[in-house]
Structure 1
Amino acid sequence: MLSRLVFSKNDLFFVFLTAGYLFGVILYDFLEFKYTDELMALFLVLFAGIVVWERKEWKEAIPLGILFAVFSFYAVYSFLIHSNVYQAIIKDLIIQIKPYLGFYCAYLVAPHFSATQKRLIAILCLIVGGMILIVGITGNIYFVFGHPSRFATAITATAFLFLYCSSYKWSDILIFILLLTIGFFSTRTKFYGFWMIAFAILVYSKAGGKLRLNKSSIGVAIVVLILVLWFCKDKIILYYVDGMMNSREMWSRPAMLLTSGRILYDYFPFGSGLASFGTFASGEYYSALYEAYGIDQLWGLSRNTRFFICDAFYPSLAQFGVVGIGLYLLFWWSILHKGYHWLSAENQKQWILLLFSFLFFLIEGTADTTIVHNRGLFILIVTAITLNEMKPCHETESRYV
């Protein structure tokens, strides 16, 4: 029974990943079916539950149990302090837990794709990449993707998926870079910065550089960081410096960032609660905190112009307080720590993908809430199955004994 499940789960996850890529990333905005990512997360929860039941390895579900416990605490805490109306809290709870559910469920299922399946996905990525290129050239970005930032993240997800399915030859790296370069049509500065980092890491690694904590790697990282900051300096000054220096017309991002710091202090240590600040639900069910902290009259943050309330991820962490920030950092530390611990000459590609995922969300969080959207969910799913591939063979095989 278990051997049939192992075989079928790989095929089923292959179909799920392909469908999730096409309908949950590429065609998400064009089809305007906004519940694709929720359905993907629900499918993964059910899938993971069946796998745990069949394996009878209950300890595998411990991370999911901890995840549910953490978010249950924040839900109860939010109800108790009345951070917003009940509908808003429940809606924000679903949105905030979704990407982490996707990651831990995909990691628990631990699918393994055949060479043929990976080849088919790689071919699909090339076909879709060509179509996205046509969209960029013809200027139909808004028509197909709704916004340039979504165009950029769609091609990033495509490049990620291709690299995951590739054999990591120089030709594959060249294709990855070419796919990623299509994102230049988005004209997003943050994308330019990520492209530069990805290019530097890939070339450095493939040329023989070791991505470990040594003087050489740290030196290269510092140089690349300086180049990225220099390249993005105009937008950084525009978004975060000029706005903070002009108190009469403080722009949304610096206003949200500064206010989040005040909230962290005022609501120490668990934050202001779900649906209270910096999230879609806090704007849809307009949170009282915006008026309380005097930013409800700013254009883009007012009750009638809520365009920039969830325009960046980091301010929303104020909802979870310093404890929540610590948990978020722990999430990424655990991924990178495991990847670094399992790093070998055979899984350099997987380690690089983990780094790319971390750096992508690190950069995206400055001017988008991608991690809680459909594209963020998909990239975290790819991150989870990538991390699982790095796991030593004896640990993986023990699951099926």
Structure 2
Amino acid sequence: MNTMLLSGKRHYFTKASNSFFFIILIVLCIFQNPIEATFDYFSYFDEILALFGFFYLILHHKKIKRKTQKVSLMLFFFLLLGLISSIMNPIQPISIIIFDAFLNIKFFIAIIYGVSLTSHLNSRPIAKTLEIIIVCLAILTALSYVTNIFSAGGYRYGIKVLCLFFTHPSSLASACVTMLGFLFIFEQRNQKLVLFSILLVGMMTLTMRTKAIAAAGVFFFFLISQKKGTKNRISLWQIIFAVFLVVIIGWDQFQYYIVQNDSMARSALLTTSIRIAKDCFPLGAGFGTFGSYFSAVSYSPLYYKYGISGVYGLSTNYTNFISDSFYQMILGTTGVLGFTFYVSILFNILMIFKKKCGDCRYFYAFLFPFIYLIICSIGESAFVNSLAIPIAICMGYAYKLLDRGNYD
């Protein structure tokens, strides 16, 4: 009797302590951007989380099932192709190549870190923490429109842009997406799930970022179009309509920044990435040479070679828009082959979740953040952005719960 009682207390304490540390992790993930803006050393937070995932992959690679082994193998070949290209095109120093290579794969490693997290938790205190954070942010949102307490966001379409204490509206939108994912995992009561989801999607929309508005539209579309009581499968017509919805919402921005304006950084990066892919067919120019943060740290000579070093945001004096793209970076640095592998990896991850989803909200905890990143990838660094790492952890943890028993 005493042994059973002691065992029960240990089990309770373990779940309580796990829940406590999980709450800390979620809070740090949500407020990563404002904390990083205050404490410079916190900028390595996402890299540290990704490294945990890397060590877990090494120590527990035998637990990775056949379907995830396929993704791991494709990721390995993507990395190998980029390194071969970097050797064939010795443009950047070895340190830049290594750092940029890690930048390209850290999203997937962060998913593995999410898988490594324990599922022995108490959902209620985690859900309660999320509820409190969402309510506080909602109150601050209301205050920001009544007063000028937060005015850094400016105006778009005549509407005040919501930014709160985040450094950029996109950072707030990413935090909302992270909370939305974890909310679907831990909130057990449907009424509260709907209420707090609406609050989060509303705050996303008020950031007035096209990608956030498009993601909000897709979010409501999938919820409304899903038949109650059926398995959470994605049908072809849902995918077609979701793509149509995103195109309609973002068409003006897409035309202005990417298609019709060669003086814009994104448009210049797109046309140049295609030229690089042709000139360096099929492997690209190598890691750290184009469209990434590290291509600005060690300013890549390719920007001079292809005549875009004078474009606003791509110059040596002002490099803020160099990493303002994603597919352009992948195409330019790893070529057609690397681009094909990367897109295939994303598709296979979606298929793994699609085949596992039943009557379970864990699938939505994966789907909505993933859709948001897909939309973001059209016009920003998306999957290699530090703000994508909390989203990746949420996706990985959702997979763990769907595949419960294979990792604990």
Q: Same fold (TM over 0.5)?
A: yes
Is 1:181 the counterpart of 2:189? The answer is no
Is 1:39 the counterpart of 2:14? The answer is no
Judge conservation of contact 2:182–2:365 (CA < 8 Å) in 1. no
Is 1:361 the counterpart of 2:361? The answer is no
What residue ranges of structure 2 are gaps of 5+ in the alignment? Answer: 1-9, 154-163
Q: Tell me, in whole angstroms, the C-alpha distance in 1 between the residues paired with 2:284 and 2:144.
A: 41
Q: Tell me, in whole angstroms, the C-alpha distance in 2 between the residues paired with 1:135 and 1:30.
A: 23
Picking from 348, 360, 373, the partner of 2:385 is 373
1:327 matched to which residue of 2?
341
Task: Please report how far the alpha carbon of residue 241 of structure 1 lies from its aligned counterpart in structure 2 after TM superposition.
Answer: 2.9
Q: How does 1:206-245 map to 2 (within 5 A)?
A: 207=228, 211-212=232-233, 217-244=235-262
Q: Tell me, in whole angstroms, the C-alpha distance in 2 between the residues paired with 1:300 and 1:26.
A: 23
What residue ranges of structure 1 are gaps of 5+ in the alignment? Answer: 245-249
1:247 matched to which residue of 2?
none
Give 3-state SS (helix, strand or coil) of 1:232's partner.
helix
Distance 1:156 1:193, change over 3 A: same
Distance 1:282 1:14, change over 3 A: same
Q: Tell me, in whole angstroms, the C-alpha distance in 2 between the residues paired with 1:327 and 1:202.
A: 31
Q: Deviations over 1:44-92 (max 9, x none)?
A: 4446666x3xxxx735399597456753663354144213123322332
Q: Tell me, in whole angstroms, the C-alpha distance in 2 between the residues paired with 1:162 and 1:259.
A: 41
Distance 1:368 1:399, change over 3 A: closer
Q: Tell me, in whole angstroms, the C-alpha distance in 2 between the residues paired with 1:10 and 1:332.
A: 30
- Given the two structures, how large is their TM-score scaled by the length of structure 1? 0.82
RMSD (Å), alpha carbons: 3.2
Q: How does 1:1-400 map to 2 (within 5 A)?
A: 10-11=18-19, 14-15=22-23, 17-25=25-33, 27-32=35-40, 33-46=42-55, 52=60, 58-60=62-64, 63=69, 66=73, 67=75, 70-71=78-79, 74-75=82-83, 77-109=85-117, 111-127=119-135, 129-130=137-138, 133=141, 136-137=144-145, 138-141=149-152, 144-167=165-188, 169-205=190-226, 207=228, 211-212=232-233, 217-244=235-262, 250-318=263-331, 319-345=333-359, 347=360, 349-391=361-403, 396-397=404-405
Task: Please report how far the alpha carbon of residue 380 of structure 1 lies from its aligned counterpart in structure 2 after TM superposition.
Answer: 0.6
Task: Please report how far the alpha carbon of residue 360 of structure 1 lies from its aligned counterpart in structure 2 after TM superposition.
Answer: 1.0
Task: Please report how far the alpha carbon of residue 271 of structure 1 lies from its aligned counterpart in structure 2 after TM superposition.
Answer: 1.6
Task: Please report how far the alpha carbon of residue 232 of structure 1 lies from its aligned counterpart in structure 2 after TM superposition.
Answer: 2.4
The structure with higher relative contact order (CA 8 Å, sep 6+) is: 2
- Given the two structures, how large is their TM-score scaled by the length of structure 2? 0.81
Query: Higher helix fraction: Structure 1 or Structure 2?
Result: 1
Judge conservation of contact 2:211–2:375 (CA < 8 Å) in 1. yes
Q: How many residues are treated as equivalent by the alignment?
A: 378
Q: Deviations over 1:297-330 (max 9, x none)?
A: 2222222232221111111112122222222223
* More moved, 73-82 vs 288-297: 73-82
